[in-house]
């Protein structure tokens, strides 16, 4: 299955995440992921591994149009001059021609995450205008955002020439922002879900383990399939070939009753990862 973005560009239904994979290691890992069946690769300037990801794409042996590559502008950058430089840097580091999807990584600098008094609406509009230009020039095939809340999206939608095509957000069993997801769907914005395993603790949930046993799969497969059945594009990350391959074991369907059970799970304890802004539960 594939999704069609609101500009007609086709995006795969599942992607491969590369956060916290070192640039020296990411080339071989991404090449293996492509060989095992992934053709959507997600990176970001902040990950520090765009160069290695680009090398993997170029050396994969697959046609360029087979692989869909996403990267993101540094979320800390909120002025047009630096945003343009960020785009240029990502374009050069990847070295794959047109970037398939470029996102604004965050509506606020990470140090001001969810600060209600510092919203950067004007700055995000200016940066969005820059992405619109790059899109019209053909250096990026689709543009979107990441971690944007409803009012952040409204700011763009009410003032843009080109609508966002994607919003990449934190979403997994136990932490599903359905109001935001439904708003995106209503406005023709595809939702990608990063950290589909909630960085691990959710995989110890007894309900998920029991359900995985029933379907004859692993808890990770339940987490991924759950997001897919809600119409989201999950971006699982793995480094070993075994886990990369296992995450594609998705030839099953979660029943409606079981989906409701999973909807009712509330679990967003990220343990040591709570130090990162997106996992901080800050309101």
Instruction: Tell me how far apart the alpha carbons of residues 267 and 64 are, in angstroms, rounded to a whole number.
Output: 39
Residue from 38, 47, 91, 270 carrying the catalytic annotation: 47
CB atoms within 10 A of CB 80: 13
Triad 261, 262, 265: Cα angle to 5°: 95
226 assigned to active site? no
8-state DSSP, 47: G
| CA-based radius of gyration for the chain | 18
Contact 119, 108 (CB under 8 A): yes
Contact 104, 73 (CB under 8 A): yes
Contact 173, 205 (CB under 8 A): yes
CB atoms within 10 A of CB 150: 15
Distance (Å) of CA 180 to CA 110, 185, 223, 233, 272: 20, 9, 19, 15, 26
Where does 189-230 show beta strands of DSSP type E? Answer: 190-194
Helix (H, G, I), strand (E, B) or coil at 99: strand
Tokens representing residue 255 in the block: 């029943």
Tokens representing residue 177 in the block: 């922002």
Instruction: Tell me how far apart the alpha carbons of residues 12 and 33 are, in angstroms, rounded to a whole number.
Output: 14
Residues serving a catalytic function are 47
């Amino acid at each position: 299955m594939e999704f069609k973005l609101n500009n007609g560009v086709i995006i795969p239904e599942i992607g491969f995440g590369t956060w916290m994979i070192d640039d020296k290691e990411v080339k071989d890992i991404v090449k293996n992921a492509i060989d095992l069946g992934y053709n959507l690769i997600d990176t970001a300037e902040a990950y520090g591994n765009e160069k290695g990801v680009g090398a993997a794409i170029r050396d994969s042996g697959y046609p360029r149009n087979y692989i869909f590559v996403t990267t993101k502008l540094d979320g800390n950058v909120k002025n047009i001059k630096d945003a343009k430089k960020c785009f240029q840097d990502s374009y050069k580091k990847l070295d794959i021609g047109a970037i398939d999807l470029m996102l604004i990584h965050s509506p606020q600098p990470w140090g001001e995450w969810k600060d209600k008094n510092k919203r950067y609406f004007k700055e995000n509009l200016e940066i969005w205008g820059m992405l619109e230009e790059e899109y019209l020039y053909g250096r990026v095939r689709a543009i979107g955002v990441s971690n944007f809340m409803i009012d952040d999206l409204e700011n763009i939608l009410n003032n843009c020439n080109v609508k966002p095509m994607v919003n990449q957000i934190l979403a997994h069993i136990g932490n599903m922002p359905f109001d935001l997801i439904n708003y995106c769907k209503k406005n023709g914005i595809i939702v990608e879900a990063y950290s589909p395993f909630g960085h691990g603790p959710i995989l110890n949930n007894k309900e998920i383990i029991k359900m995985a046993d029933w379907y004859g799969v692993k808890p990770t497969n339940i987490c991924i399939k759950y997001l897919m059945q809600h119409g989201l594009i999950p971006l699982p990350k793995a480094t070993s070939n075994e886990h990369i391959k296992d995450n594609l074991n998705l030839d099953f369907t979660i029943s409606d009753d079981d989906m409701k059970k999973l909807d009712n799970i509330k679990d967003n304890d990220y343990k040591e990862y709570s130090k990162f802004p997106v996992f901080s539960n800050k309101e």
